Amino acid sequence: MTDPSPTDPALPGGGFGRQRQGAVYRDGVSGRTPAVPTAYPALRERAERMLSRKAYAYAAGSAGMESTDAANRAAFDRWRIVPRMLRDVSARDTSVELLGRRLESPLLLAPIGVLELAHTGADVAVARAAAAEGVPYILSTQASRPMEEVAAATGAAPRWFQLYWSRSEELVGSFLARAEAAGCEALVVTLDTTLLGWRARDLDLGSLPFSRGQGIAQYTSDPVFRRLAAERAAQPKTGPAPRVTPAAIGSLVSIARRHPGPTLRNLVSPLPRAAVETFLDLFSRQDLTWGDLARLRARTKLPIVLKGLQHPDDARRALDAGMDGVIVSNHGGRQVDGATGSLDALPGIVDAVGGRVPVLFDSGVRGGADVVKALALGARAVCVGRPYFYGLALAGEQGVREVIRNLRAELDLTMALAGCASLADLTPELLVRA
C-alpha cells in the first residue's frame, strides 16, 4: 500500500491522519487491506504467529514477572484525554525541533538489537522505512548490520547512534569515530544495561542470540574488535571442550554464517567463535560513574543523550555533566522487574530539567494516543520500539513504514479530536487522572 503525498487532490483534506485513512479505505474498495494490523494487540498477536518461539521471546519478554512492562501500560491508563470542542483544528502541525533539526513528527525509532530475528532485511530495512517516512532512526550497538551499511540505506535522513559502553575503551573510541563518519547526528548512551536483566522467557529457552553470532555486526565489522578477537583466537584453549550435540552444531553454523567471510572457511576458523567470546567478555561495563561522562564528552563532538533515566536527581546530574538531552526509559521493562512505569517518572524529570535540554520518552508506547499523553506530560519527542519490530516481522520494510504511518495518523487524528492544532497545545491541562 502506497500512501499518496499530502498534496494529492484525490484525497480528502484534513491532515496526515485523514489522508492515511483515505488511503486505507480506498484500497479496501479494491479488496486490499493493510500489510500490518492498525492496532497494537492484533499487530503483536499476528507477529507472534509469524516469529519463532525464541524470536518472539526476545522481542516480547521483559524482566522477571514482567511487572514493569505491565506498569508501563498501567501508567498510560491512569491518564485520560479530555477533548475540547469548537476549536479550529483544520490545519494541524505535528512538527518538532530536536537537536537543531526540524522533524515532521515527534516520533523516533528506538534502538532494537538483533533485528535479524524479525526479518532478513534487519536494520537496513528499518533504516529505509524510517528514511522514507522522515523519522529519525537510532542505530543499535547490537545491530545485525554494520552502521556503515545502515547509514548508506538511510541516505540524508536523520540517524542517531546508541552506545553500550564496552569494557574496552579503545573499542568505544572506534565506535564513536565510526558513528561520526557514518553521519550520525547524536549519540544515545544507554545507562540501564550494564548487565542483562533476568529475562525469564529467554532463560527458559536457553536463548541468547549473541551467543549464536546474532546481533554483533557492529563488533565484527570493527577493526579494533577484530584485532581483539584475533588475539583471543591465537591463545591456547583452556577449560572443558563444548559437548557435541545437534544444538551445538547448529550454533556453530549460525556463528559461521554471520561472521564476515565465507561460511565454509568460518566453520574451520577459530575467529568466529573467538569473536562471540570476545563480545560476551566486553559487552558492557558495570563500574561506570557520572565522572566518566566528562571523558565521553571530550571524545566526541556529537550531542549526547542519556537513555534510561527514571529519577529527577539523575536528570539534574545529566545537566551538570553537560549532556544535551535525556530519554526517560526503563528499557521497555526488560531490565528491572518491579520498577516504576516510565510515564510515571516523566513529569518529575521534566520538572527537574526545566526546559534546558529536550526530554524524550520511551517504554510502553503502543499507539498515537499514547504519544499524545507523553507529549502532554512534557516529552519533546517519543521513541517507539516493539510496534516496529512486529511490523518488520510481518512485512519487512513495508511493515515498518505502515507502523510509522499508523502512529502518525492516530497522533494527528487524536490531536484534532481533542481540539489541538499543534504540539504546543499538548499540555498537562489536556489530561485528567483516571
Q: What share of the chain is helix, strand, coil (3-state, %, to 5)?
A: 50, 10, 40
Q: At what angle do helices 342-353 and 67-77 cross, to 10 degrees?
A: 70
CB 41: neighbour CB atoms within 10 A? 9
* 39, 42, 43, 46: CA torsion to nearest 10: -160
Interacting residues of 236 by C-beta distance below 8 A, sequence separation 6+: none
- 247: exposed, middle or buried (Cβ count in 10 Å: 0-12, 13-18, 19+): exposed
CB 297: neighbour CB atoms within 10 A? 16
Classified as helix, coil or strand, 187 is strand
The per-residue b/e assignment along 42-54, b for 16 or more CB within 10 angstroms, e otherwise, is ebbeebbeebeeb
Copy the grid coordinates of residue 311.
529519577
Q: Which of 119, 259, 311, 331 is catalytic?
A: 331
Q: Which bin fits 262, alpha (ψ -120 to 50), beta or left (φ > 0)? A: beta
Determine the distance from the C-alpha atom of residue 403 to the mean position of all C-alpha atoms in its chain, rounded to a whole number: 14
Please check whether residue 385 is in contact with residue 110, taking contact to mean a CB–CB distance below 8 angstroms.
yes
| β-strands 96-98, 101-103 pairing | antiparallel
Please check whether residue 326 is in contact with residue 303, taking contact to mean a CB–CB distance below 8 angstroms.
no
Q: Which of 352, 382, 322 is nearest to 72 (CA)?
A: 382
Q: Which H helix or E strand runs over 350? A: helix 342-353
Q: d(Cα 174, Cα 193) in Å, to the nearest integer? A: 20
**CA of 274: how far to CAs of 143, 172, 212, 233, 419, in Å?**
19, 19, 12, 5, 58
Mark whether 331 is an active-site residue.
yes
Q: Helix H segments across 155-299? A: 169-181, 200-205, 217-220, 223-233, 246-258, 263-268, 271-282, 292-299
The DSSP-derived string for 24-88 is HHHHHHTT---SS-SSHHHHHHHHHHHS-HHHHHHHH--STT-HHHHHHHHHHHTEEE----S--
Which residues are catalytic, by number? 331
